[in-house]
Amino acid sequence: MDKKIFIRGVEFKYNSKDQYEKDGHVFCINCDTQIDGRFLNILGKDVVVRNKCRCEVKKEKQYFDKDKKNRISILKSNCFDGIESLKKYRFDFNKSTNSKEEILGINYVNKFNEMIKENIGLLLYGNVGSGKTYLASCIANGIIEKYLYEVNFRNIPQIMNDMEKRGFDIDKNYYINKLCSVKLLILDDFGIERKTEYITEKLYEIINMRYIKKLPTIISTNLSLKEIQNETESISLKRIYSRILEMCIPVKIVAEDRRIFESKCKIEKAKKYLIDN
């Protein structure tokens, strides 16, 4: 602000590097927007309101977009906890050839605030390689990008590892509390291989706490729905499963193996190059 003029007797300062004066008003050098605006009387003193020019508005938007991008990037890193490859799975919201599993996932993302209200999670079950992890990752990325919500994507061995790393109960509790309080928790590849009483107990704690807090959980598993519904061997597992069935809508994933699908696409592409002309 190295220059000033008087507009109807009121002092108005401006920067001659970016702004110029013409006919008693101040304008932006780049976009010619008039900078001096309305008159206001503040505590008995007349002031001239300073307008934002188009360049300033654009700059602010760029700053906001960059800030949003940074926040998304941090949220994704925290979500996938080092599993970089899952960050890239995203729905194409406008594609007409989305599979019915993808459409379900897209609707889940678009209606996520309603899902929170009703505490609706998903139980994605199906064979190995049916694309459950892909679908769950797309949902996680979609929710982060659309709402900037905190999402955690974990599998059971990861949780066990993380717990073992934390020697003190206070650290363990902090870790569990975190899983209990994020907006969406995704437990991938759910199935307790090493059925230790301790980890089963902790998993129940997490799932039950989310149930009480009314926060949705998505679970993907290779177990069949029957196995989940009819667990009789272990009481503690039965307890977990019945909670899951209360919170999550079972969705059978029959999508083609993603790897097979990807290699098929490659073959189609190659055919196009080699045969069509």
Give contact residues for Zn ion (rule: CB under 5 A): 28, 30-31, 53, 55
CA distances from 112 to 27, 70, 104, 143 (A): 45, 22, 12, 8
State the minimum distance, in angstroms, from the CB of residue 58 to Zn ion: 8
For residues 2 and 84, which CB has a smaller minimum distance to Zn ion in the complex? 2
Q: Yes or no: say if 153 and 140 are a contact pair by the CB < 8 Å rule.
A: yes
The C-alpha angle 262, 266, 267, rounded to 5 degrees, equals: 120
In the complex, what is the shortest distance from the CB of residue 31 to Zn ion, in angstroms, rounded to a whole number?
3
Nearest to Zn ion of 30, 263 (CB atom)? 30
Task: Kindly state the smallest distance separating residue 18's Cβ from Zn ion, in Å.
Answer: 7
Nearer Cβ to Zn ion (53/106): 53
Structure tokens at 194: 């090493």
From residue 275, alpha-carbon distances to 37, 261, 266, 272 in Å are: 67, 21, 14, 6
CA distance 142 to 111: 11
- Minimum Å gap between C-beta 33 and Zn ion is 5
DSSP 88: G
Decide whether 51 or 98 has the Cβ nearer to Zn ion.
Answer: 51
Nearer to Zn ion, 34 or 73 (CB): 34
Residue 66 CB, nearest distance to Zn ion (Å)? Answer: 19
Shortest CA distance to 131 belongs to which of 100, 109, 156?
Answer: 100
Coil, strand or helix at 225: helix
